[in-house]
Amino acid sequence: MALESQLLQYLFTGVTVGSIYALIALGFVVIHNVTGIVNFAQGDFAMLGALVAVTLTTRTPIFNRVFVADFDLPLPLGIVLSVLIVSLIGAVLYFLAIRPAKGASIVSLIIITIGAHFAFQGLALIAWAADPYGLPVFTRGGPLEIHGAILTRQNLWVIGVTAVILLALYLFFERTMLGKALRACAINRLAARLMGIDANRMALLSFVLSAAIGAMAGIVITPSTFMGYDSGTFLSLKGFVAAIMGGMNSATGAVVGGLLLGIFETVGAGFISSGYKDAIAFIVLFAILFVRMSVGVRKGQSQFEEVGM
């Protein structure tokens, strides 16, 4: 393969993978903006979305083959139901684990969402065992070939769905009252409350919204890669790195961060070593934090240890 088509191939793959990171990062940003919490279970929403969709649309033995789920719903219906179910799970997480811990320290909240991550992973293991699951591609047909690089139809679906979600979110935040209330909470929680916005309801909404975005990300990637009970860990970690790359509180930043991370990873795996692919995200993370820290020192900020808070 010529270098040009190889690079193009990396770009296609990178953007596809990056779209998923971007969606997970968006979930992080939405929750973090409204509540100040970093939700380590964000990647599990993607895992749950995918596995619930698989269960609804194909014959799947569950609970250690004690039951066989035989709903056999058409794929679009299965996807919509799965997103709704995972949104509900997001609400349950908020009511059971986040709301009761009101006023807890950051370390406590981190540990709570890590606990939630463990709980989701354990539940998924009980429900679906340790098997990898896949979904059928959304539309059949041969791949596109551009300058010797291959772009599958599912890749197009991933990129397209990401774009649609972005547009929908943009409209929601800019054009609806509810979206504006959420943004107000993100900018200044106290001021928003003084204006009569119910901060608790907004926090709940941010969890539901993030869960829905996460579920959609998981569903759309599953025809290309397998999904298993423990897939959530790396999706969380990389989505978080992408969110930091984008500054942690900007939706646009999260998307750019996600796409860049996807491209870095694919190029790095292709040119350097595929064995260390999963390390790339963290090397990027260390580099960013290091640069920010040294910039903070140069600017003479006395509070430079607050980097990234």
Binding site for another protein (CB under 8 A): 38, 63-66, 96-97, 100-101, 104-112, 114-123, 125-126, 129-130, 233, 237, 240-241, 244, 273, 275-276, 278-279, 281-283, 285-286, 289-290, 293, 304-309
User: Is the Cβ of residue 88 or residue 272 nearer to another protein in the bound state?
Assistant: 272
Least separation in angstroms between CB 131 and another protein = 11
Least separation in angstroms between CB 110 and another protein = 5
User: Is the Cβ of residue 73 or residue 119 nearer to another protein in the bound state?
Assistant: 119
Least separation in angstroms between CB 105 and another protein = 7
The sign one gets for the Cα dihedral 222, 227, 229, 231 is negative
Q: Are 137 and 158 in contact (CB under 8 A)?
A: no
CA–CA dist 24, 216 (Å, integer): 10
Least separation in angstroms between CB 22 and another protein = 18
Least separation in angstroms between CB 93 and another protein = 10
User: Is the Cβ of residue 98 or residue 221 nearer to another protein in the bound state?
Assistant: 98
Least separation in angstroms between CB 118 and another protein = 3
Least separation in angstroms between CB 75 and another protein = 29
User: Is the Cβ of residue 45 or residue 157 nearer to another protein in the bound state?
Assistant: 45
CA–CA dist 18, 214 (Å, integer): 14
User: Is the Cβ of residue 41 or residue 263 nearer to another protein in the bound state?
Assistant: 41
User: Is the Cβ of residue 75 or residue 123 nearer to another protein in the bound state?
Assistant: 123
**Facing residues of 151 across strands?**
144
User: Is the Cβ of residue 65 or residue 140 nearer to another protein in the bound state?
Assistant: 65
Let me know how long the chain is.
Answer: 309
